[in-house]
Amino acid sequence: MPEPVSDDARLAAEIDRLKAEFPKTRELYREACALLFFRFGITPTANRLYQLVHRGSMSTPTAVLSEFWADLREKSRVRIEHPDLPAEVTQAAGELVAALWSRATAAANAALDALRAEVEAQQQDARQSVAALQADLARTETALEQRTSALLTAQVRIHDLEQSLAAAEAARTALDAELAQLRQASRDRETTRTRTQAALTSERDRLRADLELADTHRQASEKHTTLEIERERATSRRLQRDAETATQALADARAELRLLEKQLGDLRHRNGTLEGQLEAMRETSAVYLRELDAWRETTMSASASGGIGHVRPVDVAGAGAATKVAKDTKATKTTTTKATKTTKTTKATKAAKPAKVANPRDGARAASRPARKVKRSAAGPRSGS
């Protein structure tokens, strides 16, 4: 139930309205006097008018209030105008009516004062009731503030819950959309799977036919590959045997090469020794030749003179040395011939082997050079002798 508006509040509201309608101060005070006296039944005073209006000085509401009472008395005067009545009667009648009006006004004022006192008592009771109500209102306001705080907290909680609900609703909407997409994708995958299954079935049939054909080709290829493997194995065994033979021949050739190298070293050593001996024999032969020439000259001289000389022991020794040189030369030829035969045999073996061996040829060449040198050395003393 709304609280009733008090007279003071209504009076203040009316005064504010008058301030807006009457900007002039005297007119505003005059209207305030009429408002107090006629509408609210309050006898206006200068102090009350000034407290309500708050304009001008204190003399302004006093002057306006005097004018108000003069106008009110002038307007309240009763004039009895009748053409048949004398002026004294008319004036007496007017004064009588004025007295009656004054008495009526006084009675009304007395009744109004009694009513005002009663109203003030009621107002006092009302003020006490208002004070109690205000206390109750304060308690109610306190409770209301508490409830308002709780309500605000609840509203904040509700706001948070509404935001959470909105977020959850948005998430649910997104999830629904995603679920719809997933369902559509599932249907698409199902359709694709069906198509793929059909394609795979046809592809499986085709692959099965291809596998059967490939199996047939594989069997034929396995047979052909088996035959090829057997041929390759036979060839590999043959090549293995040839390799073993060649390896053995190479080992023999290397052993023979080492033997020839050893023989070649011996021959070179022997050749050096023989060359030294040959050189000594050449020197000895030169000495013997000179002695022989001297002996021939002596013999020719003796023959010419008729005497025959004797052969000196030096000449016999020289002949013996020449014979020894000839034997050594023959032995050298025999050794050289053997070395040459061995070299030819090595060349024939090398030509028959798949591996390339270059050392026997070099050994044969090295062996042939000392042999020729021995021949030349052997020919020297023979021609000299």
Q: For residue 50, give both structure tokens.
A: 């000034």
| Average predicted confidence (pLDDT) for the chain | 76
Q: How far is CA 376 from CA 62, 362, 366, 370, 373, in A?
A: 184, 21, 16, 10, 5
Q: How far is CA 268 from CA 257, 261, 275, in A?
A: 16, 10, 10
Q: For residue 217, give both structure tokens.
A: 């080709």
Instruction: Summarize pLDDT for 252-305 with one digit per residue, the tens.
Output: 989 999 999 999 999 999 899 999 999 999 999 899 999 999 998 999 888 887
| Residue listed under structure tokens 């002798």 | 385
pLDDT of residue 104: 62
pLDDT of residue 310: 47
Residue 94's nearest CA partner among 67, 66, 86 is 86
DSSP 8-class letter at 84: T
Q: How far is CA 328 from CA 170, 265, 281, 355, in A?
A: 127, 19, 11, 39
Q: What angle do CA 323, 326, 330 make, to 5 degrees?
A: 140
pLDDT of residue 94: 64
Q: How many CB atoms lie within 10 A of CB 252?
A: 12
Residue type, 163: Q
pLDDT of residue 292: 92
What lies within 8 Å, CB to CB, of 171 at 6+ separation is none
Three-state secondary structure of 24-42: CHHHHHHHHHHHHHHHCCC
Return the exposure string of 310-324: e unless at least 16 CB atoms fall within 10 Å of the residue's CB, then b: eeeeeeeebeebbee
What is the pTM for the complete model shown? 0.26
Q: For residue 355, give both structure tokens.
A: 């591996």
Q: The dihedral of CA 62, 66, 72, 75: what is its sign?
A: negative
Let me know: does 318 contact 281? Beta carbons within 8 Å: no
pLDDT of residue 83: 54
| Residue listed under structure tokens 């270059």 | 358
DSSP 8-class letter at 306: T
Map out the domains of the chain as residue ranges. Answer: 7-140, 260-384
Helix (H), strand (E) counts: the chain: 7, 0
pLDDT of residue 141: 82
Strand, coil or helix: 370: helix
Residue ranges for the chain with pLDDT beneath 50: 1-4, 307-322, 325, 352-360, 363-364, 366-385
pLDDT of residue 360: 44
pLDDT of residue 251: 92
Burial class (CB in 10 A: 0-12, 13-18, 19+), 327: exposed
Residue 325's nearest CA partner among 284, 354, 373, 272 is 284
Q: The dihedral of CA 21, 26, 32, 37: what is its sign?
A: negative
